[in-house]
Structure formats: structure tokens, C-alpha cells
Amino acid sequence: MIDLYTWTTPNGRKVSILLEELGVPYTIKPIDISKGEQFDPAFLAIAPNNRIPAIVDHDTGVHLMETGAIMLYLAQKYDRFTVKGNEYWHMVEWLMWQMGGLGPMLGQVHHFVKYNQGKSAYAEERYLNEAKRLYKVLDTRLEGRDYVVGGGRGAYTIADMAMWPWISRHDWQQIDLADYPNLRAWYQRLRARPAVQAGYHLPKKVNDIPEG
């Protein structure tokens, strides 16, 4: 049994979507970051960086923080939503791209544009432009592909699951997905999956899933 400590953020939704796709038993442990529950000493013992999500795998005794590590661990444990050979490293490459670029930069857009608009024109311009650049990178990658990595038209992997929750906040980022047709088709393809819909609404429903 896996315990998932999470909240309704893009990073939290990455792992709840993966667990729903895997269809394995797990228990949700809500960590309400609006109330500072991420600073509780009991959570600190599991996630020393005080950030959600984190997991405890009671089958193996493993506890992990950081979404990339959690997703790689679960994909390896269950041998699903991963790829083999050289394509494995392309999956890792795009997973790292999400964690090092897409997530942090879009998070800055949320901070400066959605929540603190008008306080720093420089920051707003910088991060909005970077968001558009990253969207273009992903749109180009998805040309002729259904998914981000894999042979042929691609294979659905943890790389897709890591990116999708951030793209689901495109309205927060003032992005029109119509400007990125390959990405838009990919977004809608994942949005239609029952496990994505279920994982999005954990640990509670906040809003309907945005349209593409």
C-alpha cells in the first residue's frame, strides 16, 4: 500500500494521475498547504524540503519526495508508463526538462502574473515570454507525435503525466492553446483519459478541468 501526501497543485496532480493510471491501491493523505500543513514535523520526516507531494511505500519501506524521483520509482516498480533502450533516456530527458524548466517557469508566471500582477512589469514580461518559448518547444516536439517520447507516434509515459498538470493551468499563464496546435491535441488527448480526470480532482475537486 502506498500513502500519497499531496494537495491540489500541478506537482501534486502529477503523482495522483500516475497512481490512478497504474490502478494500484493507495491512500490519499491531504496536506493543506494553505494552512501550512507542509511544515508539520510528521510531514517533515517524510519530505525534508517541506513540499508536496511525497509517498510512503509500505510494501518496500521507501519514502520519497520530489515528483521526478517518485514517478521514476513507481514506473520502475510496476514496469509501466516507461520505455526501454535509448528511448528511456529521452523520457528522462523530457522529465528533467519539465522539472527544471516548464514547472518552475510557469510557477513564476503564476506568482507574478496571476497573483501579483502590476508589481513588476519586468518579471511579468520575462516569465510570460519564457512560458511562450517553452510552449513552443513542447509544441515542436509533439509535431507528428501523440506523446512526448517513444518510437513511432510515441508512447504514453510519466513524461506526459509530469507536463500535463502544468499545461492544464494555461489560462493562468495567459496562453491560448490554439496557438500551439500539436500541444493542444496532446492536451485534449490526455484530458479525455479517465485516470487523468480522476487524478486531477485529488485530494478534492477545486474546479472543472480547463478546456483546451
| Residue 107 main-chain phi, psi, to 5 deg | -60, -35
Query: At residue 58, does pLDDT exceed 90?
Result: yes
Question: What digits encode the pLDDT tens for the residues 60-105?
Answer: 999 999 999 999 999 999 999 999 999 999 999 999 999 999 999 9
What pLDDT score does 46 carry? 96
Q: What is the pLDDT of residue 179?
A: 98
Q: Distance (Å, rounded) from C-alpha 53 to C-alpha 3?
A: 10
Q: Which three cell numbers stand for residue 99?
A: 522539472
Report how far residue 6's alpha carbon sits from residue 31's, in angstroms, rounded to the nearest whole number.
Answer: 6
| Cell numbers representing residue 95 in the block | 522529465
In CATH terms, 86-193 corresponds, of 3.30.70.20, 1.10.1060.10, 1.20.1050.10, 1.10.3720.10, to: 1.20.1050.10
Region(s) of the chain under CATH 3.40.30.10: 2-78
As a CATH number, domain 2-78 is: 3.40.30.10
Instruction: Provide the 10 A C-beta neighbour count for residue 96.
Output: 13
CA distance 173 to 128: 7
Q: pLDDT by residue (tens digit) across 137-162?
A: 999 999 999 999 998 899 999 999 99
Delimit the CATH 1.20.1050.10 region(s) of the chain: 86-193
- The Cα–Cα gap between 200 and 210 comes to 11
Question: What would the mean pLDDT of 107-124 be, rounded to a whole number?
Answer: 95
Q: What is the DSSP letter of 155?
A: B
Q: Angle between the 67-78 and 158-167 helix axes, to the nearest 10 degrees?
A: 140
Say what the pLDDT of residue 151 is.
Answer: 86
In this prediction the pTM is 0.97
Three cell numbers written together for 193: 483519459
Strand partners, 26: 2
Which pLDDT tens digit goes with each residue over 148-201? 999 889 999 999 999 999 999 999 999 999 999 999 999 999 999 999 999 999
pLDDT for position 212: 87
CA distance 45 to 169: 31
Residue 166 in grid coordinates: 502544468
Q: Measured between alpha carbons, how far apart are the two ends of the chain, in Å?
A: 35
